Amino acid sequence: MDQRLFFLVNAHWSPASDLPMAILSSWAFWWPFAVLAAVLLLAFGGFNARAAVICAGVSVGLTNGLLITPLKHMVDRPRPNQVLDGVRIVDLQKAHPRFLAVVKPVKVTWSQPQTGKVHGISFPSGHAANNFALAVVFIAFYRRWGWLYIPFAVLVSYSRIYIGAHYPSDVILAAIFGAAGSCLVLAGCEALWRKFAPKLAPGLYASHPSLFPA
């Protein structure tokens, strides 16, 4: 079933979708913009923006480090493009910096199954987990506006299937893990804020008794 759903997405493609899917799936494309946005918010944002950036970093870091990465090595599931024949692999062309690849034709290749013992990191998808962890943070801090990140997280997850990197179950379960892990991390951050902020930053705590807006 998982394999059939995978090919339903990967095999039904459109040339017009290749570039946006490759962009959505490329962390190398997005990280300069993410870093710039985080720096600007930390430097010029208010308490809410700064707290959101810090919690986002902690949430993604802990969810990835304590849950997603260990699961990848424990499950050791090969990617579909490692073990299946005829998988369409879509990627951006090489470019430095990476975002300059958008002016080049998309690189498309077809998989050939690897022989022998194949080690993989397909399950769960880090892209899906990280983006749904971020979605939870944005919803916690920005309420209705935060929900606008959900479609982006869904598209990133879909793109991982489209380009041949993950099975549907990899991204669906990763989204659940990422969202759940982020909820736990945010609960921990709130508990730490309420315990230590009154002593370490009483003035700030008086203005913001909770990390999250009322």
> Per-residue confidence at 13, pLDDT binned at 50, 70, 90?
confident
Confidence at residue 168, expressed as pLDDT on a 0 to 100 scale? 97
pLDDT of 99 strictly over 80: yes
What's the confidence (pLDDT) of residue 6? Answer: 97
SS3 readout for the chain: CHHHHHHHHHCCCCHHHHHHHHHHCCHHHHHHHHHHHHHHHHHHCCHHHHHHHHHHHHHHHHHHHHHHHHHHHHHCCCCHHHHCCCCEEEECCCCCCHHHHHHCCCEEEECCCCCCCCCCCCCCCHHHHHHHHHHHHHHHHHHHHHHHHHHHHHHHHHHHHHCCCCCHHHHHHHHHHHHHHHHHHHHHHHHHHHHHHHHHCHHHHHHCCCCCCC
Is the pLDDT reported for residue 214 higher than 80? no
